[in-house]
Amino acid sequence: MFPAGIGQIARPSDLRGTGDPLEHPYRDAKQTVALVNAIQHYAVKQTRLGIPVLFHEEGLHGYAARDATSFPQALALASSWDPELLTRVFTIAGREIRARGVQMVLAPVVDVARDPRWGRIEETYGEDPYLVSRLGVAAIRGFQGDALPLGPGKVFATLKHMTGHGQPEGGTNVGPASISERTLREIFFPPFAAAIHSAHALNVMPSYNEIDGIPSHANYWLLHDILRGEMGFTGAVVSDYEGIEQLVTLHHVEPDFVHAAARALHAGVDSDLPDGAAYAKLPEALAQGLVTQEQIDTAVRRMLRMKFLAGLFENPYADARAAQAITNNAQARELALEAARKTTILLKNDGVLPLHNVKTLAVIGPNAAKVDLGGYSNVPAHTVSILEALQARAKVVTAEGVRITDEGDWYSDDVKLADRDANLARIKTAVEVARGADEIVLVIGSNSAVSREGWDKATHLGDRADIGLIAQQNELAQAMFALGKPVVVVLINGAPLSIPEVADEANALLEAWYPGQEGGTALAEILFGDVNPGGKLPLTVARSLGQLPMYYNQKPTAHRGYLFDTTQPLFPFGFGLSYTSFEIGAPQLSAPRIRAGDSVEVAVNVKNTGKVAGDEVVQLYLHDVVSSVTRPIKELKGFRRVTLAPGESKTVRFTLDREAFALWNQDMKRVVEPGAFEVMVGPNSVDLKTTTLDVTS
């Protein structure tokens, strides 16, 4: 098929023609290495130039391949507010990927997510550009390390998706991003800039959507002026799958693949993924004068540089035995368990948790016995459900309660909601099962069939027109509450859910997102108090669909009020409780006044005032009191997760530099304006203590 060789091959662990890997397994480590080595041998030994092939795989929350370690989903990892944890997670993921002969991963997603209807919100690190930047940099350091060429066990990261992808019109995937240049610069550009400057990312993937009428794969201003010009990016721009072809088939801005290829190349796209269908037409585009040889050479040079920096010319082959030994080993499984512990968020607790002296525990709900890993997953070698983990430590009675779907998963096109009458019968059974128990653990939420990447508007949808529970889960919850027993609700889901009635009536509420292969064990440990939860929300949870868009860093005129309803979220950004209590002191400044361009240190004392050890995330926010252009009411500028024993205190220190105070002025220049700034610290974005800093000219 490719007598002159091919520059890049997509996902060698996939197995053509088998469809859903959850039903028909894809290649294991031995089979993947055999394929990779055979292709590399052909490319090196039997093509004219002997150039090895660059392979890529998916690694959103672990290597998305058979038997690999599956960590908590990206949104869950963000809930740890722990960059060091993400570096360790993606060190393991990168190691497993490289061991199978692959040099590049299509992760992390550094889209800032601002619409919970969007099925891909689970793939992100939340709604705040500073949090997304810090966690994105941490993930890249795990994948790539700190130096080039790539070291052993390292892979190139790919920044996804530039840009505006996380706030699509109507919350539907690939929808137009009706976003101003100012908002792009304030919210959506910073994670890409941070990844390039601080983590030396060498791959960027444009987004599918359009901005102001220009699809990102054809956006010269975005990929050249901003990315390569202002951000100083020197790596390769690789297309999203069929993104160049969609200039013809979806956006209708080019008549055919020849012109689409020419326009994408001119915009700055260097590689056409996954199979080069559009860039196969570049010889025709060259013959017609639509592109130049110099443009083609530039793209080739960038891709060849990647191969040299990956060490492919020295060693293009992989070792199957080494790959098998390192994949999902004891170290990886222990880290997956630690990650699940650190990413779970306690949203409510009236004292029922941790569980103690429970004779019979009813474990009810559609997500109790299942392990849903979320999007961009495969089949790991090992999983533990919450039901399995609780059965190992208590007398358990159980019932499904309701079923969310009768058919469908993340991969399959068709999704069928469960039959209502069958679910009502299941609820009756669950009531009888739970009636004799002392306490109830109700495991509800969503699954990866009903909130996912919608990659085709006709055959594969994934976004939601509402943000509440579906498939009679509310009826199940009310039936459990009506029994008059303590009810602990555990949410397993990929997108934040509007559940005000459930949150009001539950005795305790845990948000676990998709907690990965070891999630069941971690949740059982948390429920029984072996582990103290310390996760925090990386986004705002709205009370209702009508509140959207809802994010903490809103402008001063947003959410002024509704007739007959509140503008307050169900749970605010940065929120999360603990089994202990903490006292966070007022911010102490190293100086009450600084000159524009200088830095100031902020010291914050935090003390564990409770009776058990626990983690707190100290959060620092900034507000520009008076500015020449409107600014958010508060912006996250620092955070630190600390572990404290009972009675222990620590002083956390932050440095606010010039960039923390800067804004894009009316002329779209990055400046620091003199004036007063409120410096706020606390355990979330609402419960804050404030002092004022004066910035002078």
Concatenating the DSSP letter of every residue in 140-190 gives HHHHH-SSSS--TT--B--EEEETTTTS-GGG-TT------HHHIIIIISH
Q: Are residues 278 and 355 in the same domain?
A: no
Question: Based on the domain organization, do 169 and 255 belong to the same domain?
Answer: yes
| Structure-block tokens of residue 592 | 């009450």
User: CA-CA distances (angstroms) from residue 550 to 115, 577, 628, 630?
Assistant: 8, 21, 24, 18
405 with 485, same domain: the answer is yes
Closest CA to 684 of 625, 616, 624: 616
Cα within 13 Å of Cα(567), Cβ side:
11
Radius of gyration of the chain (CA): 25
The interaxial angle of helices 83-99 and 129-144, nearest 10 deg, is 40
Asked which of 326, 355, 373 is the last residue of a domain, the reply is 326
CA–chain centroid gap for 136, Å, is: 9
Domain harbouring 260, CATH code: 3.20.20.300
H or E element at residue 52 = none
Query: Are 535 and 630 members of one domain?
Result: no
* 438 lies in the same domain as 537: yes
DSSP conformational letter for 255: S
Tell me whether residue 121 is in a domain.
yes
Same domain, 246 and 371: no
Tell me, what's the pLDDT at 4? 63
CB 517 within 8 A of CB 70: yes
Instruction: Measure the CA–CA gap between 301 and 414, rounded to whole angstroms.
Output: 42
Distance separating alpha carbons of residues 346 and 362, to the nearest angstrom = 20
3-state secondary structure of 285: helix
What is the phi/psi pair of residue 429, to 5°?
-65, -45
Do 274 and 11 meet the contact criterion of CB atoms below 8 Å apart? yes
Token readout for 268 is 């700055």
Residue 449: inside a domain, yes or no? Answer: yes
Nearest to 514 by CA among 123, 139, 158: 123
| SS3 (DSSP) at 520 | helix
Does residue 450 share a domain with residue 348?
yes
Tell how many helices (H) and how many strands (E) occur in the chain.
19, 27
Same-domain check for residues 336 and 320: no
User: 350 with 440, same domain?
Assistant: yes
**Residue 62 main-chain phi, psi, to 5 deg:** 120, 160
280 and 383 housed in the same domain: no
Nearest CA to 464 out of 476, 452, 477 is that of: 452
Same domain, 494 and 637: no
Q: pLDDT tens across 182-205, in order?
A: 999 999 999 999 999 999 999 999
Instruction: Identify the helix (H) or strand (E) that includes residue 209.
Output: none
Q: How many CB atoms lie within 10 A of CB 279?
A: 25
Domain end (from 547, 569, 599): 547
Query: Which pLDDT does position 17 carry in this prediction?
Result: 78
Q: Tell me how far CA of residue 643 lies from CA of 174, 383, 500, 649, in angstroms.
A: 41, 28, 31, 10
Residue 606 domain boundaries: 582-696
Q: Is residue 226 part of a domain?
A: yes
Last residue of one domain, picked from the residues 529, 547, 565: 547
Q: Are residues 345 and 446 in the same domain?
A: yes
Q: Please, where are the H alpha helices in 253-385?
A: 257-267, 282-287, 293-309, 320-326, 330-343
Answer for the pair 645, 629: CB distance below 8 angstroms, yes or no: no
Number of domains in the chain: 3
**Positions of the chain with pLDDT lower than 70, given as ranges:** 1, 3-5
**Residue 374: CATH number of its domain:** 3.40.50.1700
Considering the domain boundaries, does residue 396 fall inside one?
yes
CA–CA distance, 209 with 120 (Å, rounded to integer): 13
Is residue 314 included in any domain, yes or no?
yes
pTM of whole model > 0.75? yes
Q: Is residue 33 part of a domain?
A: no
Residue 575 falls inside a structural domain: no
Closest Cα to residue 443, out of 415, 468, 410, 480? 480
Q: Say if CB 202 and CB 309 are below 8 A apart.
A: yes
Which distant-in-sequence residues (6+ apart) come within 8 Å of 540 by Cβ? 127, 496, 550, 551, 552, 569, 571, 572, 573
Catalytic residue positions?
Answer: 240
CATH number at residue 626: 2.60.40.10
Cα–Cα distance for residue pair 186/551, rounded to 1 Å: 14
Instruction: Please provide the size of the chain in residues.
Output: 697
Residue/partner pairs of 367-371 with CB below 8 Å, 24 or more apart: 367/404, 367/443, 367/444, 367/445, 367/447, 367/490, 367/492, 368/398, 368/400, 368/441, 368/443, 369/398, 369/400, 370/447, 371/517, 371/519, 371/520
Neighbour count for residue 575 (Cβ, 10 Å): 23
- Given a contact cutoff of 8 angstroms between Cβ atoms, the answer to whether 371 and 107 are in contact is no
**Is residue 565, in this structure, part of any structural domain at all?**
no
Tens-place pLDDT, residues 552-578: 999 999 999 999 999 999 999 999 999
* Whole-angstrom distance, CA of residue 450 vs CA of residue 408: 8
